[in-house]
């Protein structure tokens, strides 16, 4: 019988359940209980208010779009960093992790300085009719910034582990470069790409610090859902804030569950 390095199943399972219960389930249960204080009528009125619905559309719509953009661009960046050697490659590779280390408030200030009407880029873009700062487009830019490293760092190790022999075999069998990528490489990268997409989406949905500076926080236009919760807390509307938090949590969970199921399906499909 092999000697287990970690404690037995009973002790490990008990510790796992206790830890998840205290750190994850208990706070979420408290949030749900606090929201239930409004009653069904009050809960419905809060969640269907114009301010909450507008912030809901912006937060989840911009988060989904930013995750899609990051999935496409992140795959391209990971491919370049893995498959090509060029001067400054290690520097560019290190810069990918910058949004991880940079405080979100600092990121928001930097983006606002860059894209404000009198900023370095904003001064050139505004005369062309492209206004980024203090608009929903600014929210999208901030979400792309914070979510970008998740895709690159998820796809990069998978790319590094792929054997070049499969590409050479596909070429010898007459496959073009496009066919080699779409039919041979992409199916192998898809599970990792979906994982990076889910991580980027989750980060974008809950992002606050980097967004509020560049968004302008205009009600019904550029106000994100986390800011609505903060405003309700400042007005001592704790039950209303909890209700918005519950709907935000439920939608995020459903999105991540759908992505997880899709990822499992793609893994089974690629194993066939």
Please state, in angstroms and rounded to a whole number, the distance separating the CA atoms of residues 96 and 90. 10
Q: Over the range 16-25, which residues count as b (16 or more CB within 10 Å of their CB) and which as e?
A: eeeeeeeeee
Cβ contacts of residue 74 below 8 Å, gap of 6+?
Answer: 148, 150, 151, 152, 155, 196, 200
Backbone angles phi, psi at 7, to 5 degrees: -60, 170
Q: What tokens were used for 115? A: 């894209």
Mean pLDDT computed over every residue of the chain: 87
pLDDT at 46: 85
Q: Over the range 52-80, which residues count as b (16 or more CB within 10 Å of their CB) and which as e?
A: bebbbebbbebbbebbebbbeebbebbbe
Q: What tokens were used for 70? A: 């990051």
Segment among 27-41, 67-81, 95-109, 256-270 with least mean pLDDT: 256-270
Please state, in angstroms and rounded to a whole number, the distance separating the CA atoms of residues 81 and 165. 19
Burial class (CB in 10 A: 0-12, 13-18, 19+), 216: middle
pLDDT at 270: 62
Q: What tokens were used for 41? A: 């009528």
Please state, in angstroms and rounded to a whole number, the distance separating the CA atoms of residues 123 and 110. 15
Segment among 65-79, 112-126, 178-192, 214-228 with least mean pLDDT: 178-192
Asked if 189 contacts 155 with a C-beta cutoff of 8 angstroms, the reply is yes
Greatest alpha-carbon pair distance for the chain in Å reads 74
Q: Is 4 left (phi over 0), alpha (psi -120 to 50) or beta?
A: beta
| Band of pLDDT at residue 171, cut at 50, 70 and 90 | confident
pLDDT at 25: 85
Q: Is 60 exceeded by the pLDDT of residue 1?
A: no
Greater pLDDT, 127 or 14: 127
Residue closest to 27 by CA, chosen among 15, 35, 16, 38? 35
Asked if 179 contacts 170 with a C-beta cutoff of 8 angstroms, the reply is yes
Asked if 34 contacts 112 with a C-beta cutoff of 8 angstroms, the reply is no
Q: Is 80 exceeded by the pLDDT of residue 29?
A: yes
Q: What is the mean pLDDT of residues 240-258?
A: 87
| Band of pLDDT at residue 217, cut at 50, 70 and 90 | confident
Distances from the Cα of 185 to the Cα of 70, 177, 206, 268, angstroms: 19, 10, 32, 16
Please state, in angstroms and rounded to a whole number, the distance separating the CA atoms of residues 48 and 41. 11
Reply yes or no on domain 38-271 having CATH 1.10.3720.10: yes
């Amino acid at each position: 019988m092999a000697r287990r390095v970690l404690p037995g199943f009973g002790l490990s399972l008990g510790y796992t359940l206790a830890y998840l219960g205290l750190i994850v389930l208990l706070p979420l249960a408290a949030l749900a209980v606090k929201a239930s204080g409004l009653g069904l009528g009050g809960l419905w009125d809060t969640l269907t208010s114009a301010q909450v619905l507008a912030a809901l559309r912006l937060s989840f719509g911009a988060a989904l779009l930013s995750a899609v953009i990051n999935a496409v661009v992140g795959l391209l960046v990971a491919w370049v960093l893995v498959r090509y050697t060029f001067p400054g490659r290690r520097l560019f590779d290190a810069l990918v992790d910058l949004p991880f280390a940079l405080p979100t408030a600092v990121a928001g200030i930097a983006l606002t300085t860059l894209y404000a009407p009198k900023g370095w880029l904003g001064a050139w873009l505004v005369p062309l009719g492209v206004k980024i700062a203090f608009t929903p487009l600014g929210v999208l830019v901030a979400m792309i910034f914070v979510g970008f490293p998740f895709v690159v760092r998820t796809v990069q190790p998978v790319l590094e582990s792929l054997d070049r022999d499969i590409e050479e075999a596909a070429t010898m069998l007459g496959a073009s470069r496009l066919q080699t990528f779409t039919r041979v490489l992409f199916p192998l990268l898809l599970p990792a790409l979906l994982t990076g997409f889910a991580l980027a989406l989750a980060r974008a949905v809950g992002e606050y610090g980097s967004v509020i500076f560049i968004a302008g926080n205009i009600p019904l236009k550029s106000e994100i859902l986390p800011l609505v919760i903060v405003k309700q807390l400042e007005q001592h509307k704790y039950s209303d804030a909890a209700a918005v938090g519950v709907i935000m949590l439920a939608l995020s969970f459903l999105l991540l569950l759908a992505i997880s199921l899709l990822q499992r399906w793609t893994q089974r499909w690629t194993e066939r």
